[in-house]
Amino acid sequence: MTCRRGALIVLEGVDKAGKTTQCNKLVQALQDSGQKAEMMKFPERTTKIGQLINSYLENKSNLEDHTVHLLFSANRWELMPLMKEKLEQGISLVVDRYAFSGVAFTSANPWFQSGLVYES
């Protein structure tokens, strides 16, 4: 018997909009209906890259804006093998923020809006 692939469900939104609450409710509803489901949250602050992001978000380190943008992307990529594995096992992933949050962060940053690119 083959396992059906899990769904990737992403909830995006601004801080304190209720994303985590809704993700938790959706995971519970999926599980209550007999489906395998788990929640993931980005940035995932427990990884090495996630710890760098966490330090930046807590104003404990000062990182250049382009670096932060790349760290958020790398944080998603470092978890891609785990995400693929879970989806292939038939586990649906309900994700609190993903790639579009990175787009919003970058778009809202004045340095990126100005088109200034620093060449070394």
* pLDDT number for residue 115: 55
Question: Which CATH fold would you assign to the domain 8-101?
Answer: Rossmann fold (3.40.50)
pLDDT at 114 over 60: no
Residue type, 86: K
Number of other CB atoms surrounding residue 99 within 10 Å = 14
Q: What is the pTM of this model?
A: 0.81
Helices assigned H by DSSP within the chain:
19-32, 48-57, 65-78, 80-88, 99-108, 110-113
Confidence class of residue 112 from pLDDT cuts 50, 70 and 90? low
- 12 vs 26: CA distance, rounded Å: 14
Residue 1, pLDDT > 80, answer no
